[in-house]
Amino acid sequence: MGIARAWWVWLMVVAVGALGSCRLCSSSSPTINNSSCLSWRLAVEANNARAWRTVPPNCHDYVGSYMTGGQYQRDLDMVVQQITAYITTEVQLSNTNNNYSAWILDVDDTCLSNVLYYRRKRFGCDPYDPTGFKSWAAKGASPAVPAIRTLFRKLVTTGFKVFLITGRDGDSLAHSTTQNLHTQGYTGYQRLFMRNSSYKGQSAVAFKSEIRKQLVDQGYKIWGNVGDQWSDLAGDCAGERTFKIPNPMYFVP
Ligand SMILES: *[C@@H]1O[C@H](CO)[C@@H](O)[C@H](O)[C@H]1NC(C)=O
Ligand SMILES: *[C@@H]1O[C@H](CO)[C@@H](O)[C@H](O)[C@H]1NC(C)=O
Ligand SMILES: *[C@@H]1O[C@H](CO)[C@@H](O)[C@H](O)[C@H]1NC(C)=O
Ligand SMILES: *[C@@H]1O[C@H](CO)[C@@H](O)[C@H](O)[C@H]1NC(C)=O
C-alpha cells in the first residue's frame, strides 16, 4: 500500500512537471502532431524504427503525456495480462521441472522505472548521457514499474526461477542496483546478471544471448523473457515467448 501510494505521488509530480514543461517549450518547438508521433512510436515498438538516437523534437510533449498521462500504464497492464494468460494456459510447471523453469526480466524500464530521470532529459529528446545516467543509477532511487513488480511476484510464487539480466556495469553499480531492487520489492529472484569486464564493448544482444545460453546449458528452460528493448529479446535462447513492453524514450542497440 505504502509503495502504491508513493508511486501515485511521484506520478502526479511527473504529470504536473510535464504540463509545466509543455508550456515552457511550446513556443520554441514545432507544432505538436500527435498523429505523426503515434506513427513514430508504433514504428519504434514494432522494431521497424531502429538505431534512433533521440525522440523527434516535435514529439516531446506527445511522449511526455504518453509516459505520464496513463496510456503507458494501460499498455503495460495489457502486456502483463497477456503474460498471465500465457502462464495460466500454456506453461505447465511440475515438481520435476520446477527447479529448471526460468523466466528472464530486464532491469531498466522493465523492473525499475527511469521516467523520473528521463523527464529531465526531455523524455528522450536530449541525447543519451552516459555519465548522467550512471549517477542516477548509482543513487538506487528508481521506483518499481508497478505492473512488472506484480508480475514478478506472480512468477516467483508460481515457482519460476527468475533471472534479471542488465547491461548496467557490475563493477560500479552492483551495490546500488541490488539495493534498489530490494527496496522496491524485488526479492526472491534467482540471480542478477550484470555486465562485467568479460562483456565490455559487446552489444546488448551479444551479452544477453551469452548469459541466456549459459542458463540453457545448465539445463534451464526459459519460458518467458520480458524487456523494454528489442535487444533484450533478440539473439540466441531468447525464450519460448518474448514480451516487449513499451519504451519510446530511448533505444539500446
Ligand atoms: C496530444 O495528445 C495529448 C495526450 O493524449 C493530448 O493531451 C493533447 O491535447 C493532444 N494534442 C493535440 C494537438 O491534439
Ligand atoms: C500530422 O503530420 C502528418 C505528416 O506530416 C500530416 O499529413 C498531417 O496532416 C498532420 N496532422 C495534423 C492534424 O496537423
Ligand atoms: C529442486 O531443488 C531443491 C532445492 O535445491 C532440491 O532439494 C530438490 O531435490 C530439487 N528437485 C529436483 C527434481 O531436482
Ligand atoms: C562475468 O560474468 C559471467 C557470468 O556470470 C562469468 O561467467 C564471468 O566469469 C564473469 N567475468 C568476470 C571477469 O568476472
Q: Percentage of residues in the chain with pLDDT exceeding 70?
A: 86
How confident is the model at residue 92, as a pLDDT? Answer: 77
d(CA 240, CA 244): 14
Q: What is the pLDDT of residues 149-204, one digit of tens each?
A: 999 999 999 999 999 999 999 999 999 999 999 999 999 999 999 999 999 999 99
Quick one: pLDDT band at residue 26, thresholds 50, 70, 90? very low
The average pLDDT across 242-250 equals: 98
Q: Under a CB-based contact definition with an 8 Å cutoff, are residues 74 and 55 in contact?
A: no
CB 58 near ligand 2, within 6 Å: no
In this structure, the residues whose C-beta lies within 6 A of any atom of ligand 3 are: 96, 99
d(CA 62, CA 59): 5
CB neighbour burial string for 73-112, b if at least 16 within 10 angstroms, e if fewer = beebeebbeebeeebeeebeeeeeeeeebbbbbbbbbbbb
**DSSP 8-state code for residue 9:** H
d(CA 221, CA 240): 8
Show Cβ contacts of residue 224 under 8 Å, excluding neighbours closer than 6 positions.
Answer: 83, 86, 87, 91, 103, 104, 239, 240, 241, 242, 243
Instruction: Output the CA torsion 205→211→213→218 (10° steps).
Output: -170
Distance 82 CA to ligand 3 centre (A): 30
112, β-bridge pairs: 108, 144
Q: What is the pLDDT of residues 31-61, one digit of tens each?
A: 557 899 999 999 999 999 999 999 999 999 9
d(CA 126, CA 74): 26
Q: What does the mean pLDDT of the chain come to?
A: 90
Q: What is the pTM of this model?
A: 0.84
User: Which residue has the least CA distance to atom 12 on ligand 1?
Assistant: 34
Residue written as grid cell 513556443: 27
H or E stretch covering 192: strand 191-195
Quick one: pLDDT band at residue 23, thresholds 50, 70, 90? very low
Tell which CATH classification among 3.40.50.1000, 3.90.420.10, 3.20.20.70, 3.30.300.30 matches the domain 74-244: 3.40.50.1000
How confident is the model at residue 240, as a pLDDT? Answer: 96
How confident is the model at residue 29, as a pLDDT? Answer: 44
CB 36 near ligand 2, within 6 Å: yes
| Residue 253 CA neighbour count, 13 Å, CB half | 8
In this structure, the residues whose C-beta lies within 6 A of any atom of ligand 4 are: 193, 196-198
Residue scoring higher pLDDT (83 or 29): 83
Q: Helix axis angle, 60-68 relative to 71-90, nearest 10°?
A: 50
How confident is the model at residue 6, as a pLDDT? Answer: 53
User: Which residue has the least CA distance to atom 13 on ligand 1?
Assistant: 32
CA 155 from chain centre, in angstroms, equals: 17
User: Which residue has the least CA distance to atom 9 on ligand 3?
Assistant: 99
